[in-house]
Amino acid sequence: MAHPARANAQVGVVVSAYTDQRFRGYSLSDGRPVGIIDVSYDGPGGVYAAGSGSVVAAREGNLKGLGLTLNAGYAKRLDSRLTLDFGAIHSTYSRYSGLVGGRSYTELYGGIAGKVVGARISVSPNYIGPAHWTAHGEINGHLDLTSRLLLDGSLGVLAPLGSRGYQNGAHPQWDARLGLSQRLGRIMLHAAVTTRGRSSQIYLYRRRSRVEFVLGISSAL
C-alpha cells in the first residue's frame, strides 16, 4: 500500500520474526525462520525512505546475514481517499537465501491506494534469478475486521519482458497472499497463507512448496 503524505517528519522502527520470508510466493530464506528490522522515515511533503535488514536461522545452526533492502519514494495525496505512490527499491540477498541465480535486483514502481484497495506496477531491469527485464502487477487490500484484527491480501502477476536471460521461454507467474494480524498492545501477531503458480523459469529456484503457511510476530520500538 502507498505511504500517505505527512505534515511532519516521522521515524519508525519495527522488529519482526517469521517462520519463513516469502516474496511473491517464493521463499527468500530457503524455508528457514528469519529476524527482520525495518527503519522508515516519512518526511513532510510526501517523501519517504526505508531500510530493512534480515538474518536467517541457517542450516549450519546459527544466525547468518540474509538480506538488505533500501526503498525511497514519494506519495501524493489526491483527496481523503486516494494516494499516488512512486518510488524505487533495491534488494540484495546472501548465499543463505537459497536463490539459485542472481541475488540482487532493483525495481521502479508506481501505484494508487485507497482506504481499502490499492494497485501497483513494478518494473525491474535485473530481477532476481537469471532474469532481465520483468514487470509485476499487483492488487492489494486491507480491512479492519475489529479495532485490533486486520485482514490483508494481495494478488499479482510477474511477467518477463522479452526472452533474454530466460530458459525455454519463461511464462508469467501469478502469486497470492492472504493474512491476518492481531494487535496485542505493542505486539502484532501475524498469520498468512501464500501461494504461486507452477512455473519456476523466472526464478530458477530450489524446489519448495507452492503453498506455505507463515507465522510471525512484530513490535514497533
Q: Can you give the residue ranges of every domain in the chain? A: 10-220
pLDDT digits (tens, 9 = 90+) for 181-209: 999 999 999 999 999 987 666 665 555 67
Q: Is 203 helix (H, G, I), strand (E, B) or coil?
A: coil
> Rounded to whole angstroms, how far apart are CA atoms 187 and 135?
35
> Rounded to whole angstroms, how far apart are CA atoms 190 and 168?
38
pLDDT digits (tens, 9 = 90+) for 75-91: 999 988 899 999 999 99
DSSP letter string, 99-139 = -SSB-EEEEEEEEEE-SSEEEEEEEESS-SBS--SEEEEEE
Q: Say what the pLDDT of residue 2 is.
A: 44
Q: Which CATH architecture has domain 10-220?
A: Beta Barrel (2.40)
> Rounded to whole angstroms, how far apart are CA atoms 168 and 47?
42
pLDDT above 90: percentage of residues in the chain: 66
Q: Please check the confidence at residue 166 and state whether its pLDDT lies above 60.
A: no
pTM, rounded to two decimals: 0.88
Q: Which neighbouring-strand residues pair with 92?
A: 68, 104
60 vs 29: which has the higher pLDDT:
29
C-alpha cell at 122: 513494478
Q: Say what the pLDDT of residue 197 is.
A: 85
If you average pLDDT over residues 15-38, what whole number do you get? 94
